[in-house]
Structure 1
Amino acid sequence: MITANRSDIGRIRLANEDRSWVGTTRSGLTLAIVADGMGGHQAGDVASQLAVEAFRDAMEDIKVDLTADEAKMLIRQAILQANEVVFDMASRNEQYHNMGTTIVTALFLQGSSTVIGHIGDSRAYRVSGGQITQLTEDHTLVNELLRSGQISASEAVNHPRRNVLTRALGTDQQVDVDVQVIKWNDEDTLLLCSDGLSGMVGDDQMLETLLAPDLSLEEKAERLIQLALQAGGDDNITVVLLQAGMEREGVKDSL
């Protein structure tokens, strides 16, 4: 698997509360994570880092020959374990009260399956057959209003409460996790990102960049970061790209 991992503080924020990691488990399966923290007094930094570390620890010793159902269960359990770690830290420390984070993860199984798990509005996209598809459903107030028909898609883009999450990791003792299995082709590209990218760069621009034949995977990740900065860079921006390949490319760990 070839990978690229990039993150930028953006043009507005004073700290980067995004955390990401891509690498392999001890059994050799490729695993990727993006978390976008929230909370005052740098609590967002703490939440996202705790979530990534707890998730990685929970997934480190998984076996290589997992079935899709086993992998779904393990992804869900690992995210719930991360939720417990973040919630416990927030409960025991007043300065971290109400901190939380989004999380989106991908685990590549042997064969042609990939398991995607997420909470919040960090997203997973797949580029396949010249098209880009959003794989995850945002856990946001605006998305709930859009799905119920109370606002239009154009209204959703500039809605004043578009960043309000309806579900996050670490803010509650119990949380629901969305987990799905997708079929994977060797020609596909997977994009995991924080909303600093998806909130600033449209699907058409993402697709054009990810299909650019003259760019390496690292260069595509960097171009996506630059597009978000050119659009205003209102938030931290994190991009993880994964493609089939023999050698690993890019920065593995942004912790």
Structure 2
Amino acid sequence: MKFKTVQLTDIGNYRKSNQDYLDFVENKTGQALGIVCDGMGGHASGDVASKLAVTNFVALFKKANFKKMTDSDDIKSWLRRTVNEVLEVMIKYSNVHKKTLDMGTTLTAVLFLDTERAFVVNVGDSRTHKLNIENETLTQITIDQNLENTTTEEEKDQARNTMLYQRMTEQTFWKVLTSALGPKKQLKIDIYDAAPSGTWMLTTDGIHDYVDEEMVVATLLNEKMKMKRKGQLIIEDAKDNMSTDNLSILIIEAE
């Protein structure tokens, strides 16, 4: 497959540091990996967590022999194993650097295996989207791992009576993560199958919580616009809509 990509990150309107990290790499046997991580800003060393996650995931991708993985279950097992190996690196790091023990990060990544298969792995609430050209819509591949999506209606009613709920806004309460990648975090690994060809967009929540979807679709569909400018416009839209977080985007055109 052939790929055109752009990866951009912005500190945003209010943050003092950028705790996002992202990358796109290809290997010698035709596979490619795009990955975006969002270090958890409310926790110590979110920037360390996201960088450790991306760099170690990429390193393991480069070492992998995908020709020996004959079916989809093999690939999914490799993805789960890789996430857990990254977690082991983070645990070892935190044992030496005690102040990073509470670090955590989201992770969303797409693995392009061949012309027929792609796999998305997700932890947390960074997102992987794919552009649907025929319908001119944006399909969200991943599901945010937060209270909104992992709580039953009965549990939601009970939660509204808790002190924690009273101290937070309704929006921020339901966005509380139920899974993240880190030494002391609860980890749940979601994996999705997808067709590889097309336009992909991976983002941190500093973008997708604040952008207008119609604007994003129109931007991605614009064949006259350079990819870097597309990414810049999407970031600018989120900032104009008062994004409160770091903003990172990886756009991949795969064919």
Query: What is the TM-score when the length of structure 1 is the normalising length?
Result: 0.84
Q: Comparing 61-70 with 133-142, which one deviates more in the overlay?
A: 61-70
Which of the residues 4, 18, 21 maps onto 2:20? 18
User: How far 1:158 moved relative to its partner?
Assistant: 5.8
Matched, 1:205 2:215: yes
Letter in 1 for 2:98: E
Matched, 1:220 2:224: no
CA contact (8 A) 1:122 1:138 kept: yes
The equivalences for 1:2-151 within 5 A come to: 2-38=4-40, 43-65=45-67, 66=69, 67-128=71-132, 129=134, 130-145=136-151, 150=156
Q: Comparing 34-43 with 207-216, which one deviates more in the overlay?
A: 34-43
Letter in 2 for 1:200: Y
Letter in 1 for 2:92: D
Relative to 1, partners in 2 of residues 1:42 and 1:171: Cα closer, same or farther, differing over 3 Å? closer
Query: What is the TM-score when the length of structure 2 is the normalising length?
Result: 0.84
- SS of 1:27's equivalent in the other structure is coil
Partners of 1:83 and 1:208 in 2: CA distance: 38
CA contact (8 A) 1:86 1:100 kept: no
Letter in 1 for 2:87: N
Which of the residues 135, 142, 164 maps onto 2:176? 164
User: How far 1:231 moved relative to its partner?
Assistant: 0.9
Relative to 1, partners in 2 of residues 1:196 and 1:102: Cα closer, same or farther, differing over 3 Å? same
Higher helix share: 2
> RMSD in angstroms over aligned alpha carbons?
2.3
- SS of 1:161's equivalent in the other structure is helix
User: How far 1:160 moved relative to its partner?
Assistant: 3.0
Report the identity percentage.
29
Partners of 1:229 and 1:13 in 2: CA distance: 12
User: How far 1:25 moved relative to its partner?
Assistant: 2.4
User: How far 1:211 moved relative to its partner?
Assistant: 1.5
| Aligned equivalent of 1:250 | none
Relative to 1, partners in 2 of residues 1:207 and 1:150: Cα closer, same or farther, differing over 3 Å? farther
Q: Comparing 99-108 with 41-50, which one deviates more in the overlay?
A: 41-50
CA deviation map 1:114-149 (0-9, x unaligned)? 110010000000112222111101011233348779
- SS of 1:133's equivalent in the other structure is strand
- SS of 2:193's equivalent in the other structure is strand
Partners of 1:114 and 1:149 in 2: CA distance: 35
Q: Which has the larger radius of gyration?
A: 2
Q: Which 5+ residue runs of structure 1 have no aligned equivalent?
A: 152-156, 246-255
Partners of 1:40 and 1:85 in 2: CA distance: 21
User: How far 1:22 moved relative to its partner?
Assistant: 0.5
Which of the residues 194, 201, 204 maps onto 2:204? 194
Which of the residues 181, 191, 195 maps onto 1:183? 195
Q: Which 5+ residue runs of structure 2 have no aligned equivalent?
A: 158-168
Partners of 1:229 and 1:221 in 2: CA distance: 12
User: How far 1:180 moved relative to its partner?
Assistant: 1.6
Partners of 2:93 and 2:175 in 1: CA distance: 24
Q: Comparing 111-120 with 78-87, which one deviates more in the overlay?
A: 78-87
CA contact (8 A) 2:39 2:105 kept: yes
